[in-house]
């Protein structure tokens, strides 16, 4: 049994983002980089399957040597192998990322290819579906429950849809995009961290296609209006109700 987990390095969720002068990118100096949180659910699910059925888990990511710390962070959870698709940039166009991943994955004979449902930096939520399309594989996204029968070569997944859950059955190999709630990612053990430091990272050269998506401009969100005190105690209630009704229009 072979499982791949495609992961991405993203800015820490507590990062105070600063835009470049041309508003076309963010200032990367001083940013703390982490493993995309949704990818942690994907790694955890892969490890659970490995422990239940034996086999190996390979972490795959795209970028320059600077992302190897994040790759090792994923390996420290318990993965066996690591691959870095060498690129001086991580394309903004998810179709370019998907094409590069698919070019590598098509010859690797993985039984399941995991992704997080989206990356928290660009929020495209498209790469897993595009990879599945390029590899002509079944795909289940926003998965909150997964049952795999490797002997029968099939799986069943429950995925979040508007108003409820949708249950899917499909053959293997397949692409799975993990959603929050699928599991609880484990902590990195000291043994895992030490092992990850020694795990070799295979570097594979990539040929990136031309981007078809261009970001014209980033903007900061509008500043929130300052709060105000309208009174104290029960005497303030009538005025509060009036403001909620006439100004906020929530009543």
Element (H, E) at 178: strand 174-178
How far apart (Å, rounded) are the C-alpha atoms in residues 70 and 9?
6
What's the chain's Rg over C-alpha atoms?
22
User: What does the pLDDT read at residue 78?
Assistant: 95
How far apart (Å, rounded) are the C-alpha atoms in residues 32 and 13?
9
Per-residue pLDDT for 24 more than 90? no
Q: Give me the residues paired with residue 168 across strands.
A: 157
Q: What is the pLDDT of residues 175-220, one digit of tens each?
A: 999 999 999 999 999 999 999 999 999 999 998 888 888 888 888 8
Alpha carbon 219 to chain centroid distance?
A: 23
Scored b (16 or more CB within 10 A) or e, 108-117 reads: eebbbbbbbb
Q: What is the pLDDT of residues 73-112, one digit of tens each?
A: 999 999 999 999 999 888 889 999 999 999 999 999 999 9
Domain ranges of the chain: 2-205
CATH number of 2-205: 3.40.50.620
User: What is the rounded average pLDDT of the residues 8-22?
Assistant: 87
Closest CA to 144 of 249, 34, 41, 213: 41
Q: What is the pLDDT of residues 114-165, one digit of tens each?
A: 999 999 988 888 999 999 999 999 999 999 999 999 999 999 999 988 888 8
């Amino acid at each position: 049994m072979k499982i791949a987990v495609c992961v991405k390095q993203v800015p820490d969720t507590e990062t105070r983002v600063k835009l470049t002068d041309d508003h076309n990118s963010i200032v990367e100096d001083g940013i703390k980089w982490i493993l995309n949180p949704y990818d942690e659910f994907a790694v955890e699910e892969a490890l659970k399957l490995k422990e239940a059925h034996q086999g190996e888990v390979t972490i795959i990511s795209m970028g320059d040597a600077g992302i190897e710390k994040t790759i090792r962070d994923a390996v420290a959870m318990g993965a066996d192998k690591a691959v870095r698709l060498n690129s001086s940039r991580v394309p903004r166009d998810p179709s370019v990322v998907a094409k590069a991943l698919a070019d590598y994955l098509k010859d690797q004979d993985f039984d399941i290819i995991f992704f997080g449902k989206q990356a928290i930096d660009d929020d495209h939520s498209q790469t897993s579906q595009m990879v599945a399309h390029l590899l002509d594989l079944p795909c289940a996204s926003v998965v909150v429950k997964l049952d795999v029968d490797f002997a029968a070569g099939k799986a069943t997944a429950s995925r979040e849809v508007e108003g409820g859950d949708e249950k899917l059955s499909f053959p293997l190999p397949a692409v799975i995009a993990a959603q929050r709630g699928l599991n609880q990612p484990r902590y990195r053990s000291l043994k895992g961290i030490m092992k990850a430091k020694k795990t070799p990272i295979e570097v594979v050269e990539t040929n990136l296609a031309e981007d078809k998506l261009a970001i014209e401009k980033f903007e900061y969100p509008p500043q929130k209006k300052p709060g105000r005190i309208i009174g104290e105690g029960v005497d303030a209630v009538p005025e509060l109700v009036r403001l909620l009704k006439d100004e906020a229009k929530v009543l």
